[in-house]
Amino acid sequence: MDKKTTRPPTTPASNRRIGPPSSATRSAGRPATAGALRYNPDLNRQLNLNLRESDPVEVYCRIKPLEGDGDDSCIRILDDSTLALIPPETSAAWKLGNAKEQHYTFQRVFGSDASQKVIFDSIALPLVKDFLQGKNALLFAYGVTGSGKTFTMSGNSSESGVMPRCLDVVFNSIAKNRASKYVFRPDRMNGFESQTKADAMLERQKEMHERQRETAKTPRRNGRPPIAEYGIDQYMNRVRDETSLPVGNEDSLYSVFVTYIEIYNNSVYDLLDESPIDIMKTRGALQHKLLREDYNHNVYVNGVAEVEVESPEEAFEVYLKGQRRRRMAHTALNTESSRSHSIFNIRLVQAPLDPEGEEIMDNSKMINVSQLSLVDLAGSERYHRTQARGDRLKEAGNINNSLMTLRKCMDILRENQKFSANRVVPYRESKLTHFLKNYFDGEGRVRMILCVNPRNDDYDENLHVMAFAELTQEIQIVRPQEPKKFEPMTPGRHKANELYKEAKRQLVEEKIVEENELPSSDVQLVFGLGIPIPLCKISKSTEEEALSTLRKALELRLKGKEELQKFIVEKRQSFRLRLVGIEREMLTLRSENSNLRSHIERVTTEKEKLDNIFRATLFEKGELETKYKEQEAHIHQLEEELLNCKMELRQRDLAHHKEKENLKSDMDLQRELDAMKQERNLQNEKAKLEAEFRTKEKTIIAVRELVSNIDAPRSSRSRQSKSKSSKSAALLELSTTSSESDLPSAVSKADRITRSKFMSTPVLHESVVIPSSANRRSALVNNPRYGRARSTDRDVWIEHTDKAVVLKPQTVFQPVMKKKKSVTQLKSADDMKGASKYCLLTQEPDSEGDIETRLYKGEINRTITGGANMVLQDVEALRQTSPKPTPSRKRTSSSPSGPEIHRPRFDRGLETHYDEVEKRCRVGVSYRDSETTRNGRK
């Protein structure tokens, strides 16, 4: 079935792609000129630079007939290529006052009477000619809405437009060279592949079955869906264009593919897509496509449906199908189809025939594709004119944007060419210019049909489109290269094959020979014999004319044979020379090869050495890594140990601290116990002293009684005077006595002056000043301790004077206070701040009516807690006795005849004095045994 066996193993059976799949396919997919360029990738750039081989964009102007009879035209044709635009009174320019007639020149201007045929022949036919020669071409209609763009491009049933006529001419031209359907198939990457006739036949059969199945479901006409189904059946009655043009290569086979896309709101939609449209859906009703660039930077619509068509009718049917889909899509999108750009692409795929002229060459690199793009642009309009709102405004914006980008690209192209500038052309700013990019970059001829509606209302819009169109003509498009001719190939082999087949068919039909008796095809043989032998019947040998004709033909053939032989000798010689050259080249290559081999060997040895070093290094590295890991583990272990040690140390510290605390509390406890013990001792001693005191008191009482008994006979008067004088003397003595030896007399006069040393009972504190009775007894008035207390410069006194003190006495007992703070009441420990000595002065009458002044002296010590601890050291008492005896005083003595004895006040006990001080001090007062304190201080 398939006699070509050079298939890559991974390629499917139906695919005859040869060589590297990607590049081969892509190369095959390139448009014709690109096919020529594939042998020199830089040629495109070179061509772009070489503006001598370029053609301008050709702009043709077509003026639409005026619709109403009363309409005025704003356009006047001056000649074949020039027109005048006359501003009407309604135009903006007129209103602004700068209205003047404008003249525009185009390639050609067609009046409203120009037929579709004239338009096609003048504008499109040359492009179709190029297209058949394997070149690309772009034709686009541009103009204001309603100016006749669609009419020009598509036409109607009675007047076919450019597109159907193009299809007519293409099919007319390739009629004899048309390849069977499915010989070529698109690879959906802008390329084409070829497959064998047999594979193609299989696909055709498959398609036929599918069609039959569909026909069974839907009634069809001639195996095709009824045109009414597409809703525009009138097109089918059109008059076909009979023009036929020569194809590029007679020995090639051609297939036609069409694609139909739409650019709406800057999105590309495939109008031949088979997926159904849900007209109930506004969003996602259509799947938009992406623009991609192939290997050779040719822009294509990714995944676009490329439909192979075998006739203009079939192509037109596909177009109508696309139109129907377009209408459905716009119904779903709730818009108008004229608000989008539509692009109908006709692609001509050709591949040369093999030497027998039987099948196409089994080489995808030889496939050539040319493309003719017919673009019907959306109308260019201004917003204010359409008064568009919402979606309409958006789509108008998109249309204008894409047209604006088109203008921008044209402007920059013109600028680049005119001023040798190198500005980047913004093709990618809109899908329209992106798709058309290749044409402007020099991949084919570009022509524009400027459609103009001459009515006055369109004047302002026409002004803009004409200005743009006129400037567009200045753009030069690089002339595309001629498509590559695949030499050496015997020309005419297709025709020869056809003739041979025809002759064979006739011979078989006339039963001159059997079909299997003749070889399949030997085109080479036919061509090797030269010109065909004329058909002439020779009935007689005398028919000179026929014989001479035959002789001439044979002579010509002989001549041709000689030429061919000569040609063969030449070819053989050149072949031999080439062979010698190749042999030489081979020898050089062999020596180079052996050099390279030895070099490779050296390199291999070197590599092996390096490999060994590498392995050794790897091994060493492994060992080092193991050691490193061991060391790491060791470090880790040491770290753990250190941590443990630290923890142990901490625990020990804690234990030590705890022990210390315990010891401290033990010591405190011990100290408390000692204090308690000491207190107990003191109590015992106190009790002992009290007992002693009581004994001594009894003795004194006894002495007194004895004395009173002795003095009983004396008169009370002398007793009084004596008593008074003795009191005075005692007072005098008290003030003057300074030696300790005078103490007994002082004591005997202690009725009036009492120096008290208090027997203290530690009631609240263990350390209370307790002047022992022994001390008291031995205490002398002139004892320095009882003199005026002298303080140092540093001592600060608290002079606490009771409110009841009427008269401050000036006695020797009062301390000298160099620094003092006088208060009448101690409210808090803060009052004692900074003071180190304390002195309290009280005054009150006693029970006998005498005024008793007392001086309490003490030391102030700071406590650890920030308070003050006052230690009372001395109490001095001064009694002022009136010389007049008061009845109460007279009767103080138990014995009326005895001397008046004032009971000393020092027997009042510690509590009395403690209460005395505490009454006046609202702070804690501490009494401490002065001796103990003194000892403690030492």
Ligand X SMILES: Nc1ncnc2c1ncn2[C@@H]1O[C@H](COP(=O)(O)OP(=O)(O)OP(=O)(O)O)[C@@H](O)[C@H]1O
Annotated binding site: 143-150
Only one of the segments 146-154, 258-266, 325-333, 555-563 lies at the binding site for ligand X (rule: CB under 6 A); that segment is 146-154
Query: Among residues 118 and 618, whose Cβ is nearest to ligand X?
Result: 118
Only one of the segments 147-155, 199-207, 429-437, 811-819 lies at the binding site for ligand X (rule: CB under 6 A); that segment is 147-155
List the one residue out of 423, 470, 398, 577 whose CA is nearest residue 82.
470
Candidate residues 333, 451, 875, 917; the one interacting with ligand X per rule CB under 6 A:
451
The tokens describing 289, both together, are 């496509």
Q: Measured from the CB of residue 65, what is the shortest distance to ligand X in angstroms? A: 5
Question: How far apart are alpha carbons 258 and 312 in whole angstroms?
Answer: 11
Query: Among residues 413 and 451, whose Cβ is nearest to ligand X?
Result: 451
Is residue 64 near ligand X by the rule CB under 6 A? yes
Is residue 338 near ligand X by the rule CB under 6 A? yes
Three-class HEC string of 205-231: HHHHHHHHHHHHHCCCECCECCHHHHC
Q: For residue 103, give the 3-state DSSP assignment.
A: strand
The answer to whether 335 and 286 are in contact (CB under 8 A) is no
CA angle 287, 292, 297 (to 5 degrees): 165
Query: Among residues 41 and 65, whose Cβ is nearest to ligand X?
Result: 65
Q: Measured from the CB of residue 407, what is the shortest distance to ligand X in angstroms? A: 17
Is residue 398 near ligand X by the rule CB under 6 A? no
Q: Which residue is nearest to ligand X (CB)?
A: 148
Candidate residues 151, 257, 459, 797; the one interacting with ligand X per rule CB under 6 A:
151
Q: Are β-strands 796-801 and 819-823 bridged in parallel, bridged antiparallel, or unpaired?
A: parallel
Question: Which positions from 739 through 768 interact with ligand X, judged by CB under 6 A?
Answer: none
Alpha-carbon radius of gyration of the chain:
69
- What is the distance between the terminal CA atoms of the chain, rounded to a whole angstrom? 136
The tokens describing 179, both together, are 């390849």
Is residue 379 near ligand X by the rule CB under 6 A? yes
Number of residues that bind ligand X (CB under 6 A): 14
Q: Where are the alpha helices (DSSP H) in 338-485?
A: 383-386, 390-419, 431-438, 459-472
Q: Measured from the CB of residue 158, what is the shortest distance to ligand X in angstroms? A: 10
Beta partners for residue 842, in sequence order: 854
The answer to whether 444 and 135 are in contact (CB under 8 A) is yes
Q: What are phi and psi of 447, to 5 degrees?
A: -135, 145
Candidate residues 31, 148, 454, 858; the one interacting with ligand X per rule CB under 6 A:
148
Amino acid at 709: N
Q: Which helix or strand (DSSP H or E) is residue 600 part of?
A: helix 544-710
Question: How far apart are alpha carbons 923 and 150 in whole angstroms?
Answer: 119
Amino acid at 594: S
The answer to whether 428 and 434 are in contact (CB under 8 A) is yes
Q: Are β-strands 136-143 and 368-376 bridged in parallel, bridged antiparallel, or unpaired?
A: parallel
Is residue 146 near ligand X by the rule CB under 6 A? yes
Candidate residues 12, 65, 534, 936; the one interacting with ligand X per rule CB under 6 A:
65
Is residue 143 near ligand X by the rule CB under 6 A? yes
Q: For residue 513, give the 3-state DSSP assignment.
A: coil
Question: Which positions from 896 through 915 interact with ligand X, judged by CB under 6 A?
Answer: none
Query: Among residues 62 and 928, whose Cβ is nearest to ligand X?
Result: 62
Which parts are annotated binding residues for ATP?
143-150
Q: Measured from the CB of residue 415, what is the shortest distance to ligand X in angstroms? A: 29
Q: Which helix or strand (DSSP H or E) is residue 448 part of?
A: strand 444-452
Is residue 374 near ligand X by the rule CB under 6 A? no
Candidate residues 145, 173, 255, 296; the one interacting with ligand X per rule CB under 6 A:
145
Only one of the segments 142-150, 398-406, 791-799, 899-907 lies at the binding site for ligand X (rule: CB under 6 A); that segment is 142-150
Query: Among residues 16 and 165, whose Cβ is nearest to ligand X?
Result: 165
Query: Among residues 378 and 860, whose Cβ is nearest to ligand X?
Result: 378
The tokens describing 778, both together, are 């031995």
Q: Measured from the CB of residue 477, what is the shortest distance to ligand X in angstroms? A: 25
Is residue 150 near ligand X by the rule CB under 6 A? yes
Question: Which positions from 21 through 60 interact with ligand X, judged by CB under 6 A?
Answer: none
Only one of the segments 148-156, 423-431, 711-719, 919-927 lies at the binding site for ligand X (rule: CB under 6 A); that segment is 148-156
Question: How far apart are alpha carbons 802 and 911 in whole angstroms?
Answer: 19
Q: Measured from the CB of residue 146, what is the shortest distance to ligand X in angstroms? A: 5
Q: x/- site string to ligand X, residues 796 to 835, per CB under 6 A? A: ----------------------------------------
Angle between helix 162-173 and helix 312-333 axes, rounded to 10 deg: 150
Query: Among residues 255 and 472, whose Cβ is nearest to ligand X?
Result: 472
Name the site residues for ligand X (rule: CB under 6 A). 64-65, 143, 145-151, 338, 378-379, 451
